[in-house]
């Protein structure tokens, strides 16, 4: 079954470029385009999408706010953030708002297609090393929104077993399942099971949300490797 994609970017040339290359790929179906967050939300009332490719910087409604509103919907599509720079403070805020990952706008086509499919299948961390750099750069610089509860303490991780705690720390540092498996001398399948149990115990949506929680709770500090 094709992955239904909604393109959201205020630059028409960007949308046209993505549509041309993605439409030519099997398994990708572009269901619509929008030039800002407001239009995207209205369009989602008319079409069904599995993944939204969302520009992070747009007039009227930013990609951050649009992402937050998209993710508040019933059975919402996944959101994949598009950004010009890999250290973009808006991209970090979008991850907190519910995005499943982000891509640079100059990402090679094959990687874009792979990322869309990974996000659709629930593998949220599209580029672990880039995600790690972004979080390291901005985790201490961005204050929590005034409407949010105070940052949780590490007690939220008490339900994890010692092994799950170890896996959680490595996930938080942006390591892929393969990297974790090699480091802990486990199979990738076993690591995937551990990650799934961690997300369930902590009531988290995906790996990106786990990374953000780990940084904001102090489980992993910026600058660690």
Q: How far apart are CA 4 and CA 50, in angstroms?
A: 5
Q: Across all residues in the chain, what is the average pLDDT?
A: 81
Would you say domain 3-126 falls under CATH 3.40.50.2300? yes
Q: Would you state the pLDDT for residue 29? A: 93
Structure tokens at 165: 């705690």
94 closest CA partner among 135, 60, 150, 133: 135
Average pLDDT over residues 11-20: 89
Residue count of the chain: 225
**Is 128 or 162 the better-scoring residue by pLDDT?**
162
Would you say domain 154-217 falls under CATH 3.40.640.10? no
Give me the DSSP letters along 128-153: HHHHHHHHHHHTTTSPPPTTSPPPP-
Q: How far apart are CA 176 and CA 90, in angstroms?
A: 23
Q: Would you state the pLDDT for residue 151? A: 46
- Domain chopping of the chain, boundaries: 3-126, 154-217
Structure tokens at 109: 């086509």
194 closest CA partner among 96, 122, 184, 174: 184
Q: Give the pLDDT confidence of 155-187 residue by residue, as tens digits.
A: 778 889 999 999 998 888 777 788 899 999 999
Cα dihedral 212, 217, 223, 224 sign: negative
**Is 25 or 144 the better-scoring residue by pLDDT?**
25
For residues 217 and 153, the answer to whether their CB atoms sit within 8 Å is yes
């Amino acid at each position: 079954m094709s992955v239904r994609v909604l393109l959201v970017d205020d630059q028409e040339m960007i949308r046209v470029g993505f549509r041309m290359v993605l439409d030519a790929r099997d398994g990708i179906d572009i269901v619509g385009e929008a030039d800002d967050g407001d239009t995207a939300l209205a369009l989602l009332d008319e079409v069904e999408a599995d993944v939204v490719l969302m520009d992070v910087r747009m007039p009227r409604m930013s990609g951050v706010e649009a992402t937050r509103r998209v993710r508040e919907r019933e059975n919402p599509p996944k959101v994949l953030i598009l950004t010009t720079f890999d250290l973009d403070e808006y991209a970090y805020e979008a991850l907190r708002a519910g995005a499943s990952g982000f891509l640079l706008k100059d990402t090679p086509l094959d990687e874009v297609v792979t990322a869309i499919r990974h996000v659709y299948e629930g593998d949220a961390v599209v580029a672990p090393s880039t995600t790690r750099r972004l979080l390291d750069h901005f985790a201490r610089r961005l204050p929590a929104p005034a409407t949010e509860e105070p940052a949780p303490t590490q007690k939220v991780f008490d339900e994890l077993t010692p092994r799950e705690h170890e896996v959680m720390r490595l996930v938080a540092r942006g390591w892929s399942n393969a990297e974790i498996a090699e480091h802990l001398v486990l199979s990738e399948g076993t690591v995937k099971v551990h990650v799934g149990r961690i997300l369930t115990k902590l009531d988290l949506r995906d790996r990106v949300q786990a990374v953000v929680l780990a940084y904001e709770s102090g489980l992993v500090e910026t600058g660690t490797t």
